[in-house]
Amino acid sequence: MSGLVIYTLGNCPTCARAKADLDAAGVPYEERRVDQSVEYWEQATELAITVPILVREDGRLEVGWKGETG
């Protein structure tokens, strides 16, 4: 597993921008699509009520991307 987990939705443009920026920067991440997994949905809703949700290896939590949420 990478040091970064990102919870996303398939139809979320902010999530797509976050992933594109991370890809462009060469940052490895594990994507967890909340619309494809009940387990991921439950994990994400314990953290925040919107996506993207980024969980860093050190436990830091970031909700949204560059001031936007999905």
Query: Alpha helices, DSSP H only, in the chain?
Result: 13-24, 38-47
The verdict on residue 54 lying in a domain is yes
In this structure, what token pair is assigned to residue 16?
A: 């797509």
Rounded to two decimals, the pTM is 0.92
Q: How many domains, the chain?
A: 1
Average pLDDT, the chain: 94
The verdict on residue 70 lying in a domain is no
Taking the C-alpha atoms of residue 46 and residue 27, their distance in angstroms, rounded to an integer, is: 25
pLDDT category at 33 given cuts 50, 70, 90 is: very high
The verdict on residue 22 lying in a domain is yes
Find the mean pLDDT for residues 41-54: 97
35 with 12: CB under 8 angstroms? no
Q: How far apart are the first and last CA of the chain?
A: 24
pLDDT for the residue 52: 97
Please check the confidence at residue 1 and state whether its pLDDT lies above 80. no
Q: pLDDT digit string (tens) for 8-32? A: 999 999 999 999 999 999 999 999 9
Taking the C-alpha atoms of residue 32 and residue 52, their distance in angstroms, rounded to an integer, is: 10
The verdict on residue 9 lying in a domain is yes
34 with 51: CB under 8 angstroms? yes
- State the residue range of the domain holding 21: 4-63
